[in-house]
Amino acid sequence: MFDKFKQLAKLKSIQGELAKERFEAERDGVRTVVNGQLLVEDIVLNPALPADKQAAVVKECLNEAFKKAQSSAASKMMGMM
């Protein structure tokens, strides 16, 4: 029973660590930053890009940053197991 409490405490600790981490992706002058809770922290646009290209690049950057965050979370969880 106490093992479950220890695991829960460890999980809360990992969540806290992830919340502090930042994951960044940049492409064509567009930069996105997300945190370990998969919340968008910052988006910097490139005004030189046309709107349709900018939208596509933002989407790519966000997806890349989210993948980095998910990969970090998965590796931390694997360490817990």
Model confidence over 15-62: pLDDT tens digits? 888 888 999 999 999 999 999 889 999 999 999 999 999 999 999 999
Q: Is 23 left (phi over 0), alpha (psi -120 to 50) or beta?
A: beta
Report domain extents, the chain: 2-80
pLDDT for res 1? 61
CA–CA separation, 15 and 17 (whole Å): 5
CA–CA separation, 48 and 37 (whole Å): 31
Count Cα neighbours of 58 within 13 Å in the Cβ-side half-sphere. Answer: 14
Distance separating alpha carbons of residues 39 and 72, to the nearest angstrom: 14
pLDDT of residue 81: 65
Q: Which has more pLDDT, 9 or 61?
A: 61
pLDDT given for residue 5 in this prediction: 82
- Domain covering 2-80 assigned CATH 3.30.1310.10 in the classification: yes
More confident residue, 5 or 45: 45
